[in-house]
Homo-oligomer: A and B are copies of this chain.
Amino acid sequence: MTAYTVQQLAELVAGKVEGDASRRVEGVASVDRAGPTDVTFVVDARYAQRLGPRSVGACLIAPDMQMEANGTAYIRVESPELAFSKLLGVFHPEHRPDPGVHPTAIVGRGSRIGADASIGPYVTIGEDTVIGSGTQVGPNTHIDDDVVIGQDCRIGPGCTILHDTAVGNRVRIYTGVRLGVDGFGYTPGADGLMRIPQVGRCIIHDDVEIGANCTVDRGALGDTVIGQGTKIDNLVHVAHNAAIGENCIIVAQAGIAGSVEMGAGTHVGGQAGVSGHLSIGPGARIAGQAGVFGDIPAGETYSGYPARPHRESLRASALTLRLPELFRRLVRLERRLDGEGE
């Protein structure tokens, strides 16, 4: 493992050293586990307490933190969290496979692979598909016909990207993701349910991340869209014609039904579900496991089943627990009235 001086680290994160700038740092660690050759970070008094009197290799601290002089080299930065995140990448650089198309990859007619792209073994790429420069495609992934993938994307192993899907730049598609799946649309016909052909597209904008084993349907007629910068955790389902705004956060196992319109900056908790054709305002927050059956205004926090404003849900939930007491008090009143009536 490479080692750095505190001075070198401070330069990487545009910080100011207080202490021994020549101290040698060999790794990153959480505040609870950091030792004499680790860099860690402290954002507030609680973190400082967890660090205690230990002398660690280096410690990133916020502009206003007062720390004890105990041999630790402090690096004062605007945001210790961001700086620490950057140093994580410095000490643990992501593996970059060699550029080029692996000899076992199969690339269809008319498809173009960008410079410095890396296409792994047993990848299959259809016809007339374009893959941007610097993009990595993991082993055993299938990319269909007429797909466009931008630059510097990472597509994991074992993914499927179906025809006419468009993926922006710097997008991360984790292993096992399925993009552009036929949506769930049927109409009653003479011989039972008839499949409605799904002819829309699946559009993933720049800087999106989609977690392992997620599924994103193509549109029925129009498009399914994931807005720029949105991050999606594992095992999430996004149905046909959903339009997810920019910079949303969707936690694991949540489900977004068809034609949902979700504004920018919305947070969706784990295992939450949003019913079809609803409108979720920008900046809304949906709690974990919430079942959303109606529109949510911008900036509001909803929870429960059916989901309602969080404060209402909390109050109803608390009072539900007091139902036994409520029944007892009611019976007592009835008895008193009966007694008085005698």
Contacts and interface: CB of A to CB of B under 8 A. Distances in A.
Interface of A: 28-30, 33, 81-82, 85, 88-89, 91-92, 94-95, 104, 106, 120-122, 124, 138-140, 142, 145, 156-160, 162-163, 172, 174-176, 178, 181-182, 184, 186-187, 189, 191-197, 199, 207, 209, 211-213, 215, 217, 221-222, 228-229, 231, 233-235, 237, 239, 246-247, 249, 251-253, 255, 257, 270-271, 273, 275, 288-289, 291, 293, 304-306, 308, 312, 315-317, 319-324, 326-327, 329-330, 333-334, 336-337
A237 B239 contact: no
A215 B235 contact: yes
Nearest to A233: B184
A1 to B, nearest CB: 11
Contacts of A29: 221
A213 B211 contact: no
Given A95-B145, A181-B174, A317 B306 contact: yes
A197 B122 contact: no
A229 B282 CA distance: 40
A323 B316 contact: yes
A333 to B, nearest CB: 6
Nearest to A329: B330
A215 B222 contact: no
A195 B222 contact: no
Chain A: interface secondary structure? loop
Nearest to A250: B184
A269 B145 CA distance: 33
Contacts of A175: 142, 160, 162, 178, 181
Contacts of A233: 184, 237, 239
9 contacts: A30-B222, A122-B122, A124-B140, A138-B142, A158-B158, A213-B215, A273-B288, A305-B305, A319-B320
Nearest to A317: B306
A182 B174 contact: yes
Given A211-B215, A237-B253, A275 B288 contact: yes
B178 A231 contact: no
B89 A197 contact: yes
A148 to B, nearest CB: 17
Given A172-B195, A212-B215, 16 more contacts: A28-B221, A30-B221, A88-B196, A124-B157, A142-B175, A158-B178, A184-B211, A235-B237, A253-B255, A275-B288, A288-B291, A312-B321, A315-B324, A316-B320, A316-B324, A337-B337
